[in-house]
Amino acid sequence: MAEFGATTQPRPKRVDELIDSELMAKLDQVDIMSRKIFAGKLQGERRSKKRGVSVEFADYRHYVHGDDLRFVDWNIYARLDKLFLKIFLEEEDLALLIAIDISASMDWGNPNKLVFSQKLAMSLGYIGLSNHNRVSLFAFNQAGVRPLVNLRGRRRTREMGTWLLDLAGGDRSGFNEAMRHIALSRQGKGVMVILSDFLFKESYEKGLRYLAGGGFDTFCLQVLSPEEIDPGRHGLAGDLRLTDVEDDDTAEITVSAALLRKYRENLNAYCGRLRDFCIRRDVMHVSVTTSDDIGALLLDYLRKRGLLK
Amino acid sequence: MSWLAVPAGLILAAVVIPPLILLYFLKLRRRTQTIASTLLWKRSVEDLRANTPFQRLRRSLLLFLQLLALVLLVLAIMQPQVQSSGRQGGKTIFLIDTSASMTATDVTDAPTRLEEAKRRARERVEALYGRGLFGGSWGETMVVSFSDRAQVACRFTDSKPQLLAAIDRIQPTHGESRIGEALTLARAYTTQLDPESNRPVGEPGTLELFSDGRIADLAEQVLRGERMVYHPIGSQEPDNVAITAISIERPYDRPAAVEVFASLANFNTTPLTVDVQLSVNDAARAIREVTIDAAGEDPVSGLIVPARRNVVFTPFEQPRAAVIEVAVLRDDDLAADSAARLVVPPPRRLKVALVGSKSFVMETVLTGIGSIQRLTLLSQQQYLAKVAEGAVDRFDVVVFDNYAPPPDQMPPGRYLCFGAPPPIEGLNAFGEGEGQLILDTRHEHPLFKFVDLDRLFISRFTLLQPDDDVQVLAEGSRGPVVVEVARGPMQVIYVTFDPLDSNWPFLRSFVTFLVNAVEYLGHAGEAISASSFTPGEALTTRLPPAAAAVELHLPDGVMERLEPIDPALLSWGPIRLTGVYFLRWSVQQTSEPQERVFAVNLLSDREGDLRPAEQIMAGEDVHVAGRGGSEYTSLWPWAIGLCLIVLMLEWWVYHRKAYI
């Protein structure tokens, strides 16, 4: 019997191990959905707050000095002898920011949480790229934030995959610091997806507050392994000294029904608190388990939760 | 609680328990397990600690259970036992009292005390064998019933049905309680002698006595290492009036009449007035109202001293044989002693021979005695001729008037001799003396009833130096004057002087003495009433040699056919019940059945005292069952059983991984 929580599956070595063509075909149908409308940088496929040059008519307004004469409605001028300007809806791109927790605690579990997060990030990023969104990826831990910013277009998929494959877990999470860094990095406002287990000894509130204050449409995908959700069923037994992979902190336990019950209660309470915190700040919280099928998760579950359409 | 093998248990505990604890310490070296985050675990452990005050104990529940199982094993090895009504193994003897007092009806749960005793004995059997191993017994039990005789109802066995059947078979008797024989029997079965040292080996058994404790010979018994448990039976307030004596006499002046005396005893602590009924052949003849005082209590022994009252019924004519019964007309707790019966044979007329009489005095007086049917005067030659014929035993009494037959010429019989000393060993006549007065007479002897010898002067007499077996009935100033020799069938009254050598013929006492002597000798061995038996005795009687089809009808209506081994002598027994027994037989020549009647009476003070003894002593204190407990029940099977349960619990807990 494998050791409790040890990763047995092989780590992905190639990009097509992160996302296969079948899933890619399915993901072509979906797009990232934002509950907010953000200002983009480049012209894209998304309605922007700005009035612009799309084909979709929005309104008229009086001409003022300096307006582009290309948008004057000459027909109106001919009838009324007044200059009116046609205003069109502007379509811009959407910024999709994916932050991956690569702390040591993520590199654990069977299936591995980090691998799962990599695959999920790959899929989400692919959706973003294929819909001409501006995709930025951040991998963070205590050591700092590794960015891969402003990918656009499907052809950047391989680059993104390679970057994801290079990620390796280690160190503590440094969540708050990382969030502050990302929020202030001026990578454009947009949909922010955080892939983490949110099991931080330091609190997560501060970091999430940065995101909420930064105007992101934030999705917290809490990735937990089956061992964390039901340790008793996955072979945690006996008298144990539990060692934290991040800080080598130890906890001596004797596994008992009561202890397992208490653990589950605590886990539920912890996740519940996180969810409450998120809801209050208009942040979407979604719990996912690494044993879930990524395709089903994306096409079904996340669609229902409003991240994808 | 006591422990039989403490050192063994301690040694085991020392050997086994420390390694277990050590093993646990070894086991508690925790395995290191890497985990994503200890955050929730730490919180859970803290919560669990905060919520469970006995956390430390609970955490090591398995250790606790295993320790408990070991401790139980150790306890089992120490063999604990508690005092209780149960008993550990070994030999148990149930002694069930079947005496008359056990037929008393003063118990509430059963018709009689004996039934109650049997019920309790059955309960004990159930307790000993009904619960199997956990009953604490795996020994053998024997059942002995005793009254004045002891009887083995069941030999040592561990079969419950056999014991129960044996207890059920026990029948009441009206005998006295005597435990000696029962103890001897019990010891004979329990004691095994080591052939080399000739000493008893093995543990003595436990005696369980089911009785009311009124045991006649208890003071003589000493327990030899046996443990005795006494189950007292009976209420402390019994009600009993008993007839403790009955006698019937025929007045000497009216041989056809009978006079009935009875003695009543009241064992109750309140004075009573009772009706006493005299019946003859089951027909009531007289009823007397009698008041008896309350019984007292002996301050030393604590025994009841019954108040007594004698009843004399007016003489009445009863020339024929009859069964006379005196009964107390009162329902008390013990019926066996409320009535007494005697069988009165028809008055018997005597045949008397007077040998060698030269004086008219003797002949005249004997002729005048009413109970003498025929007086035969024999000369010395005629007497010797009768001896030669073997016809002397046709006479009930032979009177020698100053005649001493030659030696070997006195066949067994009853003789009254005056003057010359008869040729009997032990008299040791050594010449003649002159002049003496009577100093002392045995007034209570029937010979001297109404006889006053104070004024008797003897001028010439034979000097005697009698042996020890010769009874001196009257002692004169110079030696024995009247002696009695009783040797089997030979009974002789010898008066050492010829009445003509004294002033006796002129005294009234001479006639009375002669009447007394002839009656005494003539009816020797038979009371005026046929002798009465007591329970426990054997009924013995002589039958005609041709008797056949002998039947004995018992008072409880049972008829037994007897096959006398010796046709002349019939013996049956022991007698169990009081009452009237009819022995019927037929002689082949005459088809008419013959009948003989026997009366069996209890007539015992000790059985009449129904109050059960609260405690009894037999050399040492006897444990009283059910009061404070005295028996031991082994607890080790319980300890083992508990240990198994704990082991199962431990197994379950282990598999649940829930060390709660």
Asked if residue A10 is part of any domain, the answer here is no
The predicted pLDDT at position B502 comes to 92
Instruction: Please indicate whether, in this complex, the C-beta atoms of B45 and A201 are within 8 angstroms of each other.
Output: no
Interface test with B, best of A266, A270, A289 (most B CBs within 10 A): A266
Residue B40 near chain A (CB below 8 Å)? yes
Instruction: Please indicate whether, in this complex, the C-beta atoms of A199 and B660 are within 8 angstroms of each other.
Output: no
Whether residue A119 is found in the same domain as residue A199: yes
Q: For a pLDDT cut of 90, what percent of chain B falls above it? A: 8
Whether residue B105 is found in the same domain as residue B221: yes
- Residues B143-152: what's their mean pLDDT? 87
Asked if residue B212 is part of any domain, the answer here is yes
The predicted pLDDT at position A282 comes to 87
Residue B391 is encoded by which pair of tokens? Answer: 């016809």
Strand partners, B533: B600
Residue A5 near chain B (CB below 8 Å)? yes
Interface test with A, best of B37, B653, B657 (most A CBs within 10 A): B37
How many residues belong to chain B? Answer: 660
Chain B residue with minimum CA distance to A170: B36
**pLDDT averaged over chain B?**
81
Chain B residue with minimum CA distance to A202: B39
Question: How many structural domains are present in chain A?
Answer: 2
Q: Which domain holds residue B369?
A: 350-522
pLDDT, one tens digit per residue, over B584-642 is 887 766 666 777 888 888 877 777 778 787 777 766 666 676 543 345 667 788 888 89
Q: For residue A225, is pLDDT > 90?
A: yes
Nearest CB to A239; choose among B28, B35, B42:
B28
Q: Which amino acid is at B387?
A: V
Instruction: Please indicate whether, in this complex, the C-beta atoms of B39 and A252 are within 8 angstroms of each other.
Output: no
The predicted pLDDT at position B629 comes to 38
Greatest pairwise CA separation for chain B in angstroms? 147
Q: Which amino acid is at A108?
A: W
Whether residue B299 is found in the same domain as residue B392: no
Residue B523 is encoded by which pair of tokens? Answer: 């009816």
- Angstrom CA distances, B281 to A245, B342, B343, stand at 116, 10, 9
Buried b (16+ CB within 10 A) or exposed e, B270-295: eebebebbbbbeeeebeeeebebeeb
Instruction: Please say whether the beta carbons of B25 and A240 come within 8 A.
Output: no
- Residues B203-208: what's their mean pLDDT? 76
Instruction: Please indicate whether, in this complex, the C-beta atoms of B30 and A267 are within 8 angstroms of each other.
Output: no
Last residue of a domain, one of A55, A70, A92: A92
Instruction: Please indicate whether, in this complex, the C-beta atoms of B43 and A266 are within 8 angstroms of each other.
Output: yes
Question: Where residue B525 falls among pLDDT bands split at 50, 70, 90?
Answer: very low
Asked if residue B530 is part of any domain, the answer here is no
- Chain A residues near residue B30 by CB distance under 8 angstroms: 239-241, 252
ipTM: 0.81
Phi and psi angles of residue B124, each rounded to the nearest 5 degrees, phi first:
-65, -40
- Angstrom CA distances, B149 to B336, B375, B532, stand at 18, 47, 19
pLDDT, one tens digit per residue, over A58-91 is 788 888 888 888 888 899 899 999 888 888 766 6
Q: For residue B382, is pLDDT > 70?
A: yes
Q: For residue B1, is pLDDT > 80?
A: no
End-to-end CA distance of chain B: 33
Nearest CB to A259; choose among B33, B35, B45:
B45
Last residue of a domain, one of A62, A92, A122: A92
Asked if residue A5 is part of any domain, the answer here is no
The predicted pLDDT at position A91 comes to 62
Whether residue A198 is found in the same domain as residue A126: yes
Whether residue B325 is found in the same domain as residue B298: yes
Instruction: Return the HEC string of A44-109.
Output: EEEEEEEEEEEEEEEEEEECCCCCCHHHECHHHHHHHCCCEEEEEEEEECCEEEEEEECCHHHCCC
Interface test with A, best of B24, B40, B43, B64 (most A CBs within 10 A): B40
Question: Where residue B230 falls among pLDDT bands split at 50, 70, 90?
Answer: confident
Nearest CB to A243; choose among B33, B52, B657:
B33
Higher pLDDT, B624 or A217: A217
Instruction: Please indicate whether, in this complex, the C-beta atoms of B36 and A5 are within 8 angstroms of each other.
Output: yes
The single residue listed with the structure tokens 């008397």 is B352
pLDDT, one tens digit per residue, over A106-163 is 998 888 999 999 999 999 999 989 888 889 999 999 998 999 888 888 888 999 999 9
Distance CA B287, CA B249 (A): 19
Question: Where residue A276 falls among pLDDT bands split at 50, 70, 90?
Answer: very high
Residues 222-251 (A) with a CB less than 8 A from some CB of B? 225, 228, 236-246, 249-251
Of B136-150, B307-321, B513-527, minimum mean pLDDT range:
B513-527
Last residue of a domain, one of B303, B329, B345: B345
Asked if residue B606 is part of any domain, the answer here is no
- Residues A250-273: what's their mean pLDDT? 89
Q: Identify the three-state secondary structure at position A140.
A: strand
Instruction: Please indicate whether, in this complex, the C-beta atoms of B32 and A243 are within 8 angstroms of each other.
Output: yes
Q: What CATH number is attached to the domain comprising B470? A: 3.40.50.880
Whether residue A186 is found in the same domain as residue A82: no
Whether residue A215 is found in the same domain as residue A80: no
Q: For a pLDDT cut of 70, what percent of chain B falls above it? A: 85
Last residue of a domain, one of A71, A92, A113: A92
Q: Which amino acid is at A151?
A: L
The predicted pLDDT at position A274 comes to 93
Angle at B90 between CA B88 and CA B93, to 5 degrees: 105
Whether residue A217 is found in the same domain as residue A233: yes
Q: Identify the three-state secondary structure at position A271.
A: helix
Interface test with B, best of A244, A273, A289, A290 (most B CBs within 10 A): A244
The total of other beta-carbon atoms located within 10 Å of residue B562's CB is: 17
Residues 132-171 (A) with a CB less than 8 A from some CB of B? none
Q: For residue B447, is pLDDT > 70?
A: yes
Whether residue B356 is found in the same domain as residue B468: yes
Q: What CATH number is attached to the domain comprising A175? A: 3.40.50.410
Whether residue A125 is found in the same domain as residue A220: yes
The predicted pLDDT at position B660 comes to 40
Distance CA B387, CA B376 (A): 15
Whether residue B482 is found in the same domain as residue B359: yes
pLDDT, one tens digit per residue, over B175-196 is 888 888 888 888 887 776 667 7
Distance CA A141, CA A104 (A): 9
Instruction: Return the HEC string of B165-219.
Output: HHHHHCCCCCCCCCCHHHHHHHHHHHCEECCCCCCEECCCCEEEEEECCCCCCHH
Asked if residue B189 is part of any domain, the answer here is yes
Distance CA B304, CA B211 (A): 18
Last residue of a domain, one of B319, B345, B371: B345
Whether residue B128 is found in the same domain as residue B185: yes
pLDDT, one tens digit per residue, over B540-555 is 777 766 677 788 888 8
Residue B39 near chain A (CB below 8 Å)? yes
pTM (2 decimals)? 0.47
Higher pLDDT, A290 or B526: A290
The predicted pLDDT at position B524 comes to 52
Q: Which amino acid is at B146?
A: F
Residues 56-95 (B) with a CB less than 8 A from some CB of A? 59
Q: What CATH number is attached to the domain comprising B151? A: 3.40.50.410
Between strands B140-146 and B91-97, the pairing is parallel
Whether residue B502 is found in the same domain as residue B371: yes
Higher pLDDT, B619 or A181: A181
The predicted pLDDT at position A226 comes to 92
The predicted pLDDT at position A50 comes to 57
Question: Where residue B656 falls among pLDDT bands split at 50, 70, 90?
Answer: low
Higher pLDDT, A43 or B122: B122
The predicted pLDDT at position B87 comes to 47
Whether residue A144 is found in the same domain as residue A21: yes
Distance CA A127, CA A146 (A): 21
Instruction: Please indicate whether, in this complex, the C-beta atoms of A257 and B656 are within 8 angstroms of each other.
Output: yes
Q: What contacts B106, CB < 8 A, 6 or more positions away?
A: B113, B234, B235, B237, B238, B239, B333, B610
Last residue of a domain, one of B471, B497, B522: B522
Whether residue B231 is found in the same domain as residue B380: no
Asked if residue A59 is part of any domain, the answer here is yes
Q: What CATH number is attached to the domain comprising B320? A: 2.60.40.10
Instruction: Please indicate whether, in this complex, the C-beta atoms of B33 and A240 are within 8 angstroms of each other.
Output: yes
Q: What contacts B633, CB < 8 A, 6 or more positions away?
A: B81, B82, B83, B84, B85, B86, B87, B88, B136
Asked if residue B168 is part of any domain, the answer here is yes
Asked if residue B15 is part of any domain, the answer here is yes
Whether residue A83 is found in the same domain as residue A98: no
In Å, how far is B203's CA from the nearest CA of chain A? Answer: 54
Asked if residue B605 is part of any domain, the answer here is no
Chain B residue with minimum CA distance to A251: B42
Interface test with B, best of A242, A268, A273 (most B CBs within 10 A): A242
Q: What CATH number is attached to the domain comprising B574? A: 2.60.40
The predicted pLDDT at position A290 comes to 92
Whether residue B478 is found in the same domain as residue B377: yes
The predicted pLDDT at position A40 comes to 60
Q: For a pLDDT cut of 90, what percent of chain A falls above it? A: 26
Highest mean pLDDT among B37-41, B53-57, B541-545, B602-606: B37-41
Distance CA B294, CA B167 (A): 37
- Residues B398-407: what's their mean pLDDT? 89
Whether residue A172 is found in the same domain as residue A229: yes
Q: Which amino acid is at A8?
A: T
- Chain A residues near residue B31 by CB distance under 8 angstroms: 238-241
Residue B165 near chain A (CB below 8 Å)? no
Q: For residue B530, is pLDDT > 60?
A: no
Instruction: Please indicate whether, in this complex, the C-beta atoms of A256 and B657 are within 8 angstroms of each other.
Output: yes
- Chain B residues near residue A239 by CB distance under 8 angstroms: 27-28, 30-31
Distance CA A46, CA A152 (A): 14
Whether residue A48 is found in the same domain as residue A177: no
The burial of B50, by beta-carbon neighbours within 10 Å (0-12 exposed, 13-18 middle, 19 or more buried), is given as: exposed
Instruction: Please indicate whether, in this complex, the C-beta atoms of B31 and A238 are within 8 angstroms of each other.
Output: yes
Question: How many structural domains are present in chain B?
Answer: 5
- State the number of CA atoms in the 13 A half-sphere of B71 facing the CB: 8
Instruction: Please indicate whether, in this complex, the C-beta atoms of B45 and A238 are within 8 angstroms of each other.
Output: no
The predicted pLDDT at position B237 comes to 81
Q: Which domain holds residue A51?
A: 43-92
Instruction: Please indicate whether, in this complex, the C-beta atoms of A242 and B52 are within 8 angstroms of each other.
Output: no
The predicted pLDDT at position A29 comes to 82
Whether residue B255 is found in the same domain as residue B190: no
Phi and psi angles of residue A210, each rounded to the nearest 5 degrees, phi first:
-55, -45
Residue B657 near chain A (CB below 8 Å)? yes
Whether residue B214 is found in the same domain as residue B310: no
Instruction: Please indicate whether, in this complex, the C-beta atoms of A105 and B659 are within 8 angstroms of each other.
Output: no
Region of B549 (left: φ > 0; alpha: ψ -120 to 50; beta: rest) is left
Whether residue A23 is found in the same domain as residue A75: no
Asked if residue A8 is part of any domain, the answer here is no
- Chain B residues near residue A113 by CB distance under 8 angstroms: 36
Whether residue A170 is found in the same domain as residue A274: yes
Closest CA to A12 of A153, A94, A121, A97: A121
The predicted pLDDT at position B269 comes to 85
Asked if residue B527 is part of any domain, the answer here is no
- Chain A residues near residue B40 by CB distance under 8 angstroms: 199, 263, 266-267, 270
- Chain A residues near residue B660 by CB distance under 8 angstroms: 256-258
Q: For residue B361, is pLDDT > 80?
A: yes
Interface test with B, best of A254, A255, A264 (most B CBs within 10 A): A254
Question: Where residue B134 falls among pLDDT bands split at 50, 70, 90?
Answer: low
Whether residue B93 is found in the same domain as residue B231: yes
Asked if residue A260 is part of any domain, the answer here is yes
| Angle separating helix axes B160-169 and B113-129, nearest 10 degrees | 180
Highest mean pLDDT among A60-69, A268-277, B423-432: A268-277
